[in-house]
Amino acid sequence: MKILFFLSLFLSFNTFAKELSVKFGTIAPAGTPWADSLEEIKNRVGKNSNNQIKIKTYLGGQLGGELEIMQKIRRGNIEGGGLTCGAMASIIPELDLLEVPFLFESSEEADFILDNYLLGPFKELFEKKGFVMLTWAENGWRSLGHKSKLIKTPEDLRAVKIRSQESKVHLAFWKKLNASPVAIATPEVLPALQTGVVEAFDNTPLFTLAAEWQTAIKFYTVSNHIYQPAAVIYSKKFWDKLDENQRKILMGPGNGLAVEIRSNVRKLGDSLIQVLKESGITTYNLSMSEKEAFKKVASGLAEEAVKSIGGESARIYALIQEGKKAFKAKK
């Protein structure tokens, strides 16, 4: 019995002492707030584990586009990553509801609904599909870039070859605008713009600059038509192999990280538009009436998405509407 006891003690010690390597994949480029946030997570985990858990980040799509990274996380080939909800909707369709244009009226409203109404339901949906959700993150408000003309009206997008994120809601929106969307993975967008495969795209000013897409356009319209959340996730296959102490360290403050992650992105604010201007790009802010014209085109898209997505989408959409009412009531 004593031999078995000491053998068990020896094995337990070696299991704890063995270093745990965690690969994180993302398309976020180095030198961005997203990369900084992952670095902060990496440092916290290293410190709290006495460097027994080491996170290595692979930035800028080193491990592939978002769909490829997510599949690798699901299979357990990558332990974790940071991805946009538009991309993750390929596996968790209900996330596509968050991509509906003009769904959220402000960042504050989006934060309130995501944190207080959608966190729990989506954690459950993530787990069912093979993921463990750490925290919400964000890409931010998407706007329009074009190689040769300024976009002011829905008609300006007619027949325009526009890069679409690989999301059913994004594709449906562009088709409602009578554009010609082409679904292209993020690492391939710049070459597609340069060679004329597409002539336009939508993304945040931050990501546009970080990925150097601004080098291929001359015009940028601040439309803020989609608020795009993101999430930091772990592979459930990886998670299930961990002990409780390892899980506690890797989870840390959980969604409490969202406040800092969002702040890191938002503090740059309008300065990024100024950077675009200084790069020689003509920028334009849609007026309220011009934005309403785009909203009119997007009308009904959420309800259409609920019908086509199925699953838990009706419940998620009802929670969004409930959250919107609660947010207005507390103002």
Residue 5 falls within a domain, yes or no? Answer: no
Residue 2 falls inside a structural domain: no
- Confidence bin at 166 (pLDDT 50/70/90): confident
Domain hosting residue 163, numbered range: 20-330
How does residue 270 score in pLDDT terms, banded at 50, 70 and 90? confident
Q: What mean pLDDT do residues 123-152 have?
A: 97
Task: Read off the CATH number of the domain in which 325 is found.
Answer: 3.40.190.170
Asked if residue 10 is part of any domain, the answer here is: no
Phi, psi of 184 (to 5 degrees): -135, 135
Question: Domain for residue 311, yes or no?
Answer: yes
Q: In this structure, is residue 104 part of a structural domain?
A: yes
Separation between Cα atoms, residue 140 and residue 144, nearest integer Å? 13
pLDDT for the residue numbered 18: 73
Look at residue 221 and tell me if it is in a domain: yes
Residue 1 lies in a domain: no
pLDDT at residue 10 is higher than 70: no
**Structural domain tally of the chain?**
1
Over the chain, what is the mean pLDDT?
93
Task: Look at residue 15 and tell me if it is in a domain.
Answer: no
Q: What is the pTM of this model?
A: 0.92
Is residue 3 over pLDDT 50? no
